[in-house]
Chains A and B, each alone.
Chain A
Amino acid sequence: QSVPTQPPSASGTPGQRVTISCSGRSSNVGSNNVFWYQQLPGTAPKLLIYRNDQRPSGVPDRFSGSKSGTSASLAISGLRSEDEADYYCAAWDGSLSGWVFGGGTKLTVL
């Protein structure tokens, strides 16, 4: 499987910290920047983290990204109900000459 692997689901209670993992290959996550997208129900995806750990303007600092080797992680601290969404990691794959998206993680705020 050439696409990055994400857990299908994650959950937490308000105020908690949750992390979502993204495991890829040397041709994608291991050698290129990782991006994270948030997709709220019924809406288009939104860029949440770019270049592994950078936040676009307007994204709260509760969201943070990291990368090590062929794995990356998205952390959300101070979990809020409005964070309930699908989260996708993505990276350019040099072998495929194209973007690859992880399978997505559905975050539930209990």
Chain B
Amino acid sequence: EVQLLESGGGLVQPGGSLRLSCAASGFTFSNYAVSWVRQAPGKGLEWVSAISASGGSTYYADSVKGRFTISRDNSKNTLYLQMNSLRAEDTALYYCAKDAPLGQWLGSYGMDVWGQGTTVTVSS
């Protein structure tokens, strides 16, 4: 079964840091780009960041650029999101989602598998 499992969420003070992980199984992780998408309580979906299959290309929403870093370890089938300088507005449920396959450009394929999300709360 194709699956994504996020972890690492929690309560953190403003200005603090947190690292999210997303463990993939059931597919060849290294053949797919992956994205992080978040959803603030009661709000809509907001794309956060994406990384190519090889990890050589990364993309960020303006709202997190310079504060968040996406990375992946294909040997461990795991995606990461390092979040620094956290703000109250970063409070959300963070999903990882399987994106474009190798050879397809981001934007052509869509996010066809999603995890269940991990909750990040930024509050003093």
Size bracket, chain A contacts: 20 to 34
Interface residues of A in 1-35 (CB under 8 A from B): 32-33, 35
Interface string of B30-70 (1 = CB under 8 A from A): 00000101000000111100100000000111100000000
Task: Assess the A101–B116 pair: CB atoms within 8 A.
Answer: no
Distance to closest chain A CB from B51 (angstroms): 12
Query: Which chain B residue shows the least CB distance to A28?
Result: B107
> What is the interface of chain B mostly: helix, strand, loop, or mixed?
loop
Interface residues of A in 35-72 (CB under 8 A from B): 35, 37, 39, 44-47, 50-51, 56
Contact for A33 among B44, B107, B112, B115, CB less than 8 A: B107
B29 at the interface (CB under 8 A from A): no
Size bracket, chain B contacts: 20 to 34
| Contact flag A103-B110 (CB < 8 Å), given A44-B116, A45-B95, A98-B59 | no
Task: Assess the A98–B108 pair: CB atoms within 8 A.
Answer: no
Task: Assess the B112–A88 pair: CB atoms within 8 A.
Answer: no
Task: Assess the A99–B107 pair: CB atoms within 8 A.
Answer: yes
Complex Cα spacing A32 to B117, Å: 27
Footprint of A on B, CB under 8 Å? 35, 37, 44-47, 50, 59-62, 95, 97, 106-112, 114-117
